[in-house]
Structure 1
Amino acid sequence: MARLFSKLKAIDFFKKIPSDLTEATLTGAWISILAAVIMVFLFTAEMMSFLSTTTTTQLIVDRSPQNELLKLNFNISFPALSCEFATVDVSDTLGTKRMNLTKTVRKMPITTELERMSEKGSAVEDSSHKPGPKYDEEGRFDDEPDIDITVPLSHVNFEATLARYPIVVVNFFAPWCHWCQRLEPTWEAATKEVHDKYPEWDGRIRFAKVDCTQEMELCRTHFIQGFPSIRVFRKGHDDIVIGGMHEHESYMGDRTKEALVAFADSLVPSAGQPHRKHAALSAAPKTPGCNLAGFVMVKKVPGTLTVVARSEGHSFDHTWMNMTHLVHTFHVGTRPSPRKYQQLKRLHPAGEGEGDLFWWREKREKRGEHPQSTHEHYLQIVLTSIEPRRSRHSGNYDAYEYTAHSHTYQSDAIPSARFTYDLSPIQILVQETARPWYQFLTTSCAIIGGVFTVAGILDALLYQSFKVVKKLNLGKQG
């Protein structure tokens, strides 16, 4: 055993020198104190560096999962676009087109000053797809003598006519409108039959019509934007009062003679009862504007979100369409919580510059000098992934920052508001990283060993220099 221990001593890296062979010097003491101070200072700095985190930002190829959908959130007000016809469409470069999205979109009537009619307000219900109204076969009334018993009302006699009869059904039309032309013979035939069934002495219901090309201000006063629009007026106004709330009425059913006559028959019992709601009538616009708020899920490819006036069975006069709008908010993806938003500002301050890159929080108005204008916003979107050090899995989240450019132009197509988005293939990765423990140990050893070695070299140089100086002095004295 003693022999084994003797052999182990041969591999000792740190062979000891007997203490009686060493010599302590005052210079070595000062160098040792200085070296100790340097060691403590560097070790403390290294410890602080190890305990702190660093933020790195790098550009990588977008690593999002395939077939992942993108959420577009919006809140936009159109002071001159009725909720009756406002629709949201989405299309992309893959050929996908979705028209009149309603499931995740809420419509709220607003005034030209962007205010709701009441404090409570009521969102407009809309189905995802409503088939267009049915018409009589073309030429059905060709064999009958020309029927033109209803002279279009004007602003001169409009109010007087409404006040004279308990119920007046008014067809607001435009002669150039294709659907109005198809409805014209049917409307005249239905008017004749209704007036024969309920003559003047009965006085409970009347059919009338208004030519909106001749009475533009009258039609605009009643928020007519699509042709033909059939409104029901009771006691001189087109709304009923239920529970203190006013509901306007618009006929959206089939446009055949039988349907119109049956509709008139069902209305007659409610004559003189302005508080009775009719099941076949839909809510007509109370205000000229509409607020659209909600979200749509889209594929992560370039596409366009379009707000436009559309309806099956209605025509629109492009010169009447004013797509002026106000963007209250528009953001991509899930909006971060306040805690994550603070992390975002701390880790990625470049995303919170003057442009407010993550969403439009300030109201931005887009107004055209000409009513027949299309407003387009082009958004260049970049995915930003935030990976904080703590809560690496639960704290990770994605934010989408973008730059937006807007312009207005006129075209022969129906005016609209278009939000064209283009996703960058490059992703911004913001990571909070900490140094591994083995790097801390390696650096600490390097600090202690390096300072000790350098101090030893300096001490040896000074010691040998002093010895040489002493020898030279002794030689001169001898």
Structure 2
Amino acid sequence: MDVVNKLRKLDAYPKINEDFYSRTLSGGVITLVSSAIIVFLFFSEIRLFLYTATETKLVVDTSRGEKLRINFDVTFPVLACSLLSVDAVDISGEQHFDIRHDIIKKRLDIHGNVIESRQGGIGAPKIEKPLQRHGGRLEHNETYCGSCYGAETTDDHCCNSCEEVRDAYRKKGWAMTNTDLIDQCKREGFIQRIKDEDGEGCNIHGFVEVNKVAGSFHFAPGKGIHPSTFIFLDLFSIDTENHNISHKINKLSFGKEFPGVVNPLDRVEWVQREPASIYQYFIKVVPTIYKDITGRKIYSNQFSVTEHVREPDGGFSKSIPGVFFFYDFSPIQVIFTEENKSILHFITNLCAIIGGVFTVSGIIDAFVYYGHRAIKKKIEVGKLI
């Protein structure tokens, strides 16, 4: 009994006999209003508890030796696929000319409808049974060795396709001025293909993987020769001033997609007004890590961009129209982290809501009740007088 009595004395919630309760109309109204407020705040707190907030943190980017995937989807309404090539180069000295793997080209008519899809770069596949150097046909079990038409570097140097002849000429620094005299090019029908596709457009999409260092890539009517600046373009002596590089960027991103990413060049369109123009995009890439609520990490990038158009100035630039993307990397890395409120924080807020509303409503009820009693008492005193 002593223990029970001691516990009874520790009761912080003393009870009032029901005989001393006084229920009022104002108390009922305040109870309904406070209950509605509690319910509203309760569901608001549940919504906040279930909502995933994203916290942003900036750190120094210390990653080294990684690869970068550049995803693109670009449409050229009036430039044929046979002419369009993708070239890339970076400051480490790595060059990729007329990239063909992981890239799809779609021939488009003047209305933008797809005529044909194909994978490949400029030119055509090798001919199956080309001529030998001496002009005769290949016999059974003979090994083909096509002529490089004066561009051979050694006696056993062979050019087995039009593409290899062009590469040999590029290494010599020569220009191919008459492809009709080159058997490989003539039989592959590259010039005829260009004529057949005259007036068509091209959609080119896919991705390229480059080193994670500053560099550039471009879309142009031709194939780059100069290893660092892409100053020369080999086009089989075709006049590049007539090529229109008007384009629409349907999609351009660096790395994987993640929630909330905004690519500022998506759906950007430019129409060429002067012939032989060069359109340049200067891109600042910001390395980004996105951590979702499960702890999974997505390594990606964001970027900002500025644009510049180089109009023909009467110099050498007339022969090199194209769309150039120059990218560099920010030394700062952004980390996005998805977070939810803890269950303890949620319970604490619920207790605060219920206790706070009851306390405030109790104060208001007491103020109304005793104020009403005071007014009533004064009225009664006035009546007695």
Q: Which residue identity lines up with residue 374 of structure 1 in the other structure?
A: I
Q: Distance in 2 between matches of 1:428 and 1:307?
A: 32
Q: In the alignment, what sits opposite 2:164?
A: none
CA distance in 2, matches of 1:228, 1:321: 14
State TM-score, norm by structure 1: 0.51
Question: 2:283, 2:303 within 8 Å by CA — same for their partners in 1?
Answer: no
State the secondary structure of the residue aligned to 1:89: strand
Equivalent residue number for residue 231 of structure 1:
180
Q: Are 1:52 and 2:47 matched, yes or no?
A: yes
252, 259, 278: which one aligns with 1:374: 278
Deviations along 1:372-423, one digit per CA (max 9) or x if unpaired, are: x33323345567888887xx56898968565552412335355142122345
3-state SS of 2:31 partner: helix
Q: What does 1:30-429 align with in structure 2 at a 5 Å threshold?
A: 30-53=25-48, 54=51, 60-61=57-58, 66=63, 67=66, 69-77=68-76, 79=78, 83=82, 86-106=84-104, 113=110, 119-120=115-116, 124=120, 133=148, 135=150, 227-231=176-180, 251-252=183-184, 281-285=187-191, 286-288=193-195, 291=202, 292-308=204-220, 309-310=222-223, 320-322=239-241, 323-328=243-248, 329-333=250-254, 351=262, 357=264, 359-360=266-267, 364-371=269-276, 373-379=277-283, 400=302, 402-403=304-305, 405-410=307-312, 411-412=315-316, 414-417=319-322, 418-422=324-328, 425=332, 427=334, 429=336
**Which amino acid counterpart does residue 325 of structure 1 have in structure 2?**
I
Partner of 1:221: none
The residue type paired with residue 97 of structure 1 is Q
- SS of the residue corresponding to residue 207 of structure 2 reads strand
- For the pair shown, which has the larger CA radius of gyration, 1 or 2? 1
State the Cα deviation string for residues 118-176 of structure 1 (Å, max 9, x = none). Answer: 9446555669xx999362789xxxxxxxxxxxxxxxxxxxxxxxxxxxxxxxxxxxxxx
Deviations 1:218-272 (A, max 9, x none): xxxxxxxx6233327xxxxxxxxxxxxxxxxx6348xxxxxxxxxxxxxxxxxxx
Instruction: Provide the rounded CA distance (Å) in 2 between the counterparts of 1:97 and 1:121.
Output: 26
Name the aligned partner's letter for residue 321 of structure 1. T
Cα RMSD for the two superposed structures: 5.2
Q: In the alignment, is the contact (CA less than 8 A) between 2:283 and 2:328 conserved in 1?
A: yes
The percentage of aligned residue pairs carrying the same residue is 17
Q: Deviations over 1:21-61 (max 9, x none)?
A: x2x335xx234313321332122212321332557566543
Q: Matched residue of 1:325: which SS? A: coil
Q: How many residues align?
A: 323
Contact 2:100 2:119 in 1 (8 A): no
Q: Which runs of 5+ in 2 are unaligned?
A: 127-145, 154-168, 226-231
Question: Which residue identity does 1:282 align to in structure 2?
Answer: E
Q: Deviations over 1:81-102 (max 9, x none)?
A: 7836x54221235554333322
**8 A contact 2:287–2:301 mirrored in 1:** yes
- Provide the residue aligned with 2:22 in structure 1: 25
> What amino acid maps onto 1:304 in structure 2?
S
Alignment check: 8 A CA contact 1:358 1:400 kept: no
Question: In the TM superposition, what are the counterparts of 1:432-443 in structure 2 within 5 Å?
Answer: 435-443=341-349
Cα deviation, 1:65-110, whole Å, max 9, x if unaligned, reads: 93252323133438467836x5422123555433332222345677
Q: CA offsets per residue over residues 259-311 of structure 1, 9 Å max, x none? A: xxxxxxxxxxxxxxxxxxxxx94341312567444321234444321234237
* Closer, same or farther: CA 74–423 of 1 in aligned 2, 3 Å: farther
* CA-CA distance at 1:462 after TM superposition: 5.2
Residue in 1 that maps onto 2:3: 4
Letter in 1 for 2:351: C
Alignment deviations for residues 177-218 of structure 1 (CA, whole Å, 9 cap, x no partner): xx69x9x9xxxxxxxxxxxxxxxxxxxxxxxxxxxxxxxxxx
Instruction: Determine if contact 1:43/1:444 at 8 Å carries over to the other structure.
Output: no
Query: What amino acid is the match of 1:369?
Result: E
